[in-house]
Amino acid sequence: MAEEKIPFTPISTIGEFKLIDKITKDFEINNTSTIKAVGDDAAVICTDRHQVITTDMLVEGMHFDLSYTPLKHLGYKAVVVNLSDVYAMNAYPKQILVSIALSNRFSIEAVEEIYKGIKLACDHYKVDLVGGDTVASPKGMTISITAIGETTKDKLTYRNTAKEGDLIVVTGDLGGAYIGLQLLEREKKIFIENPGVKTDLEGHNYTVGRQLKPEARKDIIELLDKLNIVPTSMIDISDGLSSEVRHLCIDSYVGAVVHEEFVPIANETYNTALKFGMDPITCALSGGEDYELLFTIRPEDEDKFKNHPDFSIIGEILDFNLGVKLHTKGDNYHDLISLGWDNTKS
Ligand code: ADP
Ligand code: MG
């Protein structure tokens, strides 16, 4: 939590053009479809496949808190949340555009840190930075990233095409990012009240990492390809499982049942939730920012998913009139609702 002592050079000392050059010059081009990247009036992309385009905006104080988010992590996460939306279409991201609004509170060094994180993500996910915009802001920071991906028409996967009888699959585990956020907020409070106190996040690497440095599930899209499976529908889990299952059902005009006992929760998430006096399943159902994938498959494909460590089959798609239900461990059925936490931010 303690601020690192890095130099502070005002952006005004070099101006916008030099700043853009400084922060973008180390980026390499990974994709043959990128014909022209940063440096002209517009980027040029050439491909014969379907294009998938998505954008997300992150506002300081609303979507991120710089008192506990390192700038490099912020840059990385800002890219990842966009790529996750491209993967959720069963497509591969290829290019990004990054627009950033900055107040004079931010130095050249600070912007460079953010771009180090953006570059790490570009290298890891093999996407090209092809443009953006840099503007001044009277207050705080806003980052808006647009990601462009591609896939073939037969692989494109929408969220409104789930069918009765399909199985509901979720990747990874859930609730970790929410618990990580609770830990960071707790540490921030302690730090504000007692600035001398050393922060203590020991034993919480997994959950704090899920919050500060999430990954998008590129590996799952590659695996689905290898298994020769096109999900019948798919969505990424940014707002929590309940909310995304409901989205998928409303858009597909179907109902669903999710079995509580099959919802994947990591041990660290489970144990920390209990320490906070929270119900772990509530964290998994309503906590956001896990960036896992939720998709549906035809029941005949079930064998390909059984016992696979990355996949949990958590429920079934039902007729619309049956509603969207949670089947609890105690064998009760409730409406699957997002439990009143703030989901307005996404
Ligand atoms: P213009 O005035 O024609 O919009 P800019 O000076 O804004 O041009 O941008 C010059 C080039 O740098 C363009 O290719 C633009 O896409 C790119 N660019 C500007 N800001 C950023 C940024 N924050 N990140 C990445 N590329 C940027
Ligand atoms: Mg511009």
Q: Whose CA is nearest to atom 10 of ligand 1?
A: 39
* Number of the ligand closest to the Cα of 97: 1
Task: Measure Cα distances from 241 to 8, 12, 88, 97, 285 in Å.
Answer: 42, 45, 14, 29, 5
Q: Looking at the predicted structure, is the pLDDT value of residue 343 above 80?
A: no
Minimal-distance CA residue to ligand 1 atom 7:
133
Give ligand 1 pocket residues (Cβ under 6 A). 20, 24, 38-41, 98, 100, 129, 131-134
Q: pLDDT class for 4, splitting at 50, 70, 90?
A: low
Domain spanning 167-345: which superfamily?
PurM-like C-terminal domain (3.90.650.10)
Report long-range pairs for 225-228 (Cβ below 8 Å, ≥24 apart): 225/155, 227/304
Using the predicted structure, report yes or no on whether residue 12 has a pLDDT greater than 60.
yes
Exposure string of 276-315, with b = 16+ CB inside 10 Å and e = fewer, is: eebebbbbbbbbbbbbbbbbbbeeebeeebeeeebbbbbb
Ligand 1 nearest atom to the CA of residue 41, by list position: 3
Is the model more confident about 203 or about 81? 81
Q: Which ligand is nearest to the CA of 102?
A: 1
% of residues, the chain, pLDDT over 90: 88
Distance CA 159, CA 206 (A): 29
pLDDT of 201 reads 82
The span from the CA of 239 to the CA of 318, in Å, is 22
Distance CA 74, CA 213 (A): 8
The domain ranges of the chain are 11-151, 167-345
- Beta strand pairing status for 141-151 and 50-59? antiparallel
Comparing CA positions, the residue from 153, 160, 323 lying closest to residue 235 is 160
Q: Which atom of ligand 1 is nearest to the CA of 133?
A: 20
Please state, rounded to an integer, the average pLDDT across all residues of the chain.
Answer: 94
What pLDDT is attached to residue 191?
83
Find the ligand nearest to 40 CA: 1
Over pLDDT 70: what percentage of the chain?
95
pLDDT band of 54, cuts 50, 70, 90: very high
Per-residue pLDDT at 197: 73
pTM of the full predicted structure?
A: 0.94
Which residue CA neighbors atom 5 of ligand 1 most closely? 133
Taking the C-alpha atoms of residue 196 and residue 66, their distance in angstroms, rounded to an integer, is 19
Q: Quick one: which atom of ligand 1 is closest to the CA of 129?
A: 25
Confidence (pLDDT) at 346: 47
Residues 245 and 265: their CA atoms lie apart, in Å, by: 17
Is residue 3's pLDDT more than 70? no
Q: Which residues surround ligand 2, an ion (CB under 5 A)?
A: 133
Helix (H), strand (E) counts: the chain: 10, 13
Taking Cα atoms as reference points, which of 261, 307, 308, 303 lies closest to residue 284? Answer: 261
* Residue 193 clears pLDDT 90, i.e. is over it: no
Question: How confident is residue 65, by pLDDT bands cut at 50, 70 and 90?
Answer: very high
If you take atom 20 of ligand 1, which residue's CA is the nearest one? 133
CATH number assigned to the domain covering 11-151:
3.30.1330.10
Task: Quote the pLDDT of residue 345.
Answer: 47
User: pLDDT, tens digit, for every residue of 210-256?
Assistant: 999 999 999 999 999 999 999 999 999 999 999 999 999 999 999 99
pLDDT digits (tens, 9 = 90+) for 269-326: 999 999 999 999 999 999 999 999 999 999 999 998 888 899 999 999 999 999 999 9
Residue 40 pLDDT > 90: yes
CA 112 to chain centre: 22
- Rounded to whole angstroms, the Cα distance separating 287 from 243 reads 10
| Phi, psi torsion values for 52, nearest 5 degrees | -120, 125
Cα dist. 284→217, 305, 336, 340 in Å? Answer: 18, 21, 12, 14
Model confidence at 88, pLDDT cuts 50, 70, 90, reads very high
**What digits encode the pLDDT tens for the residues 132-181?**
999 999 999 999 999 999 999 999 999 999 999 999 999 999 999 999 99
Q: Which two tokens stand for residue 252?
A: 């597909």
